Structure 1
Amino acid sequence: MGLFNFIKEAGEKLFGTGEAKAAQEAAAKDPSADKVAAANAKAAEAIANYVRTLNLPIEGLTVAFDGAAGVVSVGGTTPDQATREKVLLAAGNVAGVGEVQDTIVVTNPEPEAKFHTVARGDTLSAIAKTYYGSANKYMVIFEANKPMLSHPDKIYPGQMLRIPAQG
């Protein structure tokens, strides 16, 4: 449990369309508490739906969002540390999210992975060389970040990645 920091301007663009965008626009026009709460609820639902599309094994997923602070809170129960970390990364690698508050319970605790924030010019091979001493171990990092990553070449600056302990 804890707090993870992300680059707020980087990530999946979940709030630029549909109900989340409409709610944000309504809150901008009328910043009453009801409109802001509705916008935050729609944004939280967009994040929760995104996490669900990844088909990660998490029960009782809860997501809350504070748009003014850029903080998302994520809870639920998951069987392993890797899934917990993937859920946190999925919620945090969203444009507009700067921090993730974690209340996910892991039923079979394991050591935590390291995390790496992608910088301009980074490749999975270069990251693997840094953490494992071999660029050829880039697939370890790729596999550790599936299903958020669809291809080893599709990473972007500001994205946070899991770096598992084994290399």
Structure 2
Amino acid sequence: MGLWSFVKDAGSSLFGSKAEAAEAPEAAAAKEEALKKEVEKLGLDAKDVSIKVDGDTVKLSGTAATPEEQEKVILAVGNVEGVAKVEAEMPAAAPEPVFHTVKKGDTLSAIAKATLGNANRYPEIFEANKPMLKHPDKIYPGQVLRIPQK
């Protein structure tokens, strides 16, 4: 079981206002449904993944079709405003995922140079984060990105 941290105040706003997002017990089911719809909207294969919300932590049980899909599901639910942590299983044979939190001034080229050793490998990071990323220039501070390990 892995535990990944996210920037709670960054990401898509799926839960309404911050006051609404703070209501834990009665809103947990609505938050879970919103996260499931977000994963479906992105076209991720997560039919065997169960999503539970406990305060600002999302717990995923089960695994997606592939380790890459599982990492994308983790990112899809973690990059939502109000989510601080994601707890999830990874397939037994899968390597530990490598994630990068975007800082102010980061570009995919700079991230590629820092994590993959070559700025020209930024398309690999972009492709590894589709469908969450729609354009290589549309990243924001606090967003967590998947770094491909090839």
Fold match (TM-score > 0.5)? yes
How far apart, CA to CA, are the structure 2 residues paired with 1:134 and 1:45? Answer: 40
Q: Which runs of 5+ in 1 are unaligned?
A: 29-35
How far apart, CA to CA, are the structure 2 residues paired with 1:77 and 1:3? Answer: 15
Name the residue aligned to 2:12: 12
- Kept in 2, the 8 Å contact 1:117–1:160? The answer is yes
Among candidates 84, 89, 100, match of residue 75 of structure 2: 89
TM-score, normalising length: structure 2: 0.90
- Kept in 1, the 8 Å contact 2:71–2:146? The answer is yes
Q: Which runs of 5+ in 2 are unaligned?
A: none
Name the residue aligned to 2:33: 45
* SS of match in other structure, 1:38: coil
**Equivalences for 1:8-157 in 2 at 5 Å?**
8-16=8-16, 24=20, 36-67=24-55, 70-103=56-89, 106=91, 109-157=93-141
How far apart, CA to CA, are the structure 2 residues paired with 1:147 and 1:112? Answer: 21
The structure 1 segments of at least 4 consecutive aligned residues displaced by more than 6 Å after TM superposition are none
How far apart, CA to CA, are the structure 1 residues paired with 2:70 and 2:132? Answer: 13
- Kept in 2, the 8 Å contact 1:74–1:100? The answer is yes
* SS of match in other structure, 1:63: strand
- CA-atom RMSD in angstroms: 2.2
Query: Which has more helix, going by share of residues?
Result: 1
- Using the TM superposition, name which of 122-131 and 56-65 deviates more: 56-65
Deviation of 1:109 (Å): 3.1
Deviation of 1:65 (Å): 1.1
- Kept in 2, the 8 Å contact 1:71–1:97? The answer is yes
Deviations 1:26-76 (A, max 9, x none): x86xxxxxxx43311101111111011111122233111123xx1111123
Q: Among the aligned pairs, what percent are the same residue?
A: 51
- Kept in 2, the 8 Å contact 1:10–1:159? The answer is yes
TM-score, normalising length: structure 1: 0.81
Structure 1 residues 55, 88: closer, same or farther in 2, change over 3 A?
A: same
Computing the radius of gyration over CA atoms, which structure comes out larger, 1 or 2?
1
- Kept in 1, the 8 Å contact 2:78–2:84? The answer is yes
- Kept in 1, the 8 Å contact 2:39–2:46? The answer is no
